[in-house]
Copies of this chain bind each other. A is one copy, B any other.
Amino acid sequence: MNTPRPSAQDVYDRLRELILSFELYPGSRVTESALAERFGVSRTPVREALQRLASEGHVTVLPKQGVLIRQLDAAELAQHYRVRVVLELAVLADVCANASDADLRALAADWDPQTQPGRSDDFAVMAARDETFHRRLAELGGNRVMAQLLEQVGHHIRAVRRLDFTLNDRVERTYEEHHAIAQCLLARDLRGARRLLRRHIENSRRVASAVSLEQLRRVRAAALGEPG
């Protein structure tokens, strides 16, 4: 068997996934040693991964005390969403000004509500695909700094984004909305694109503000097959 020792990057990826899927429950405390043993590495790469996660706001390191999986409270989520809206609306202007017709056509085709390419029933997969749309927009905008900041914001709202897709017909709506936005951009209709995108994100945000930690717990319990 070929099981190479996990690197710090691997530890980071797996840890983040554990947090986003609520297997490491928000509010619970973990120790570097425990994680090191769990992943079969020493504390060093674990520390490195935890520091990254801390800078991204997923965990809080209490000096000399331990590491706390962060709660995600509704107020903070709302702030992230507001930042996201502000940044993405700015991106739209750049896209309108800079992106080529070919790129925008490709983007629109990739979210054609008729064919629905890449559609999946896995929430995590669809959430990831949703992210690629917004990431692509940032890329087409051409402002790498803004793209990276959006990436950062994305880390924080990823958990909620997944929940978003658990709602009925949210997948269809996403194809429609993304498609419509791409069409507006292709027509260089900035105002229209802004209106659509604002509403599109607002739809997600509304879900975010509705989810309480209690709901998250239930979702987690269901995912793990445990009684709620």
Contact = CB atoms under 8 A, between A and B. Distances in A.
Contacts of A82: 90, 143, 145-146
Given A48-B51, A51-B48, A51-B51, A90 B80 contact: no
7 contacts: A51-B51, A51-B52, A76-B144, A82-B145, A83-B149, A87-B87, A145-B153
A144 B70 CA distance: 15
Contact of A79 (B76, B146, B153): B146
Task: Provide the main secondary structure of the chain A interface.
Answer: helix
A79 B143 contact: yes
A148 interface: yes
Contacts of A51: 48, 51-52
Given A57-B148, A149-B149, A86 B79 contact: no
Interface of A: 47-48, 51-52, 55, 57, 76, 79-80, 82-83, 86-87, 90, 143-146, 148-149, 152-153, 156
B52 A83 contact: no
Given A82-B90, A87-B86, A145 B48 contact: no
Nearest to A47: B48
B79 A90 contact: no
Given A51-B51, A52-B51, A52-B55, A145 B76 contact: yes
A140 B210 CA distance: 26
A220 to B, nearest CB: 23
Nearest to A148: B57
A153 to B, nearest CB: 8
Nearest to A87: B86
A80 B146 CA distance: 8
Contacts of A143: 79, 82-83
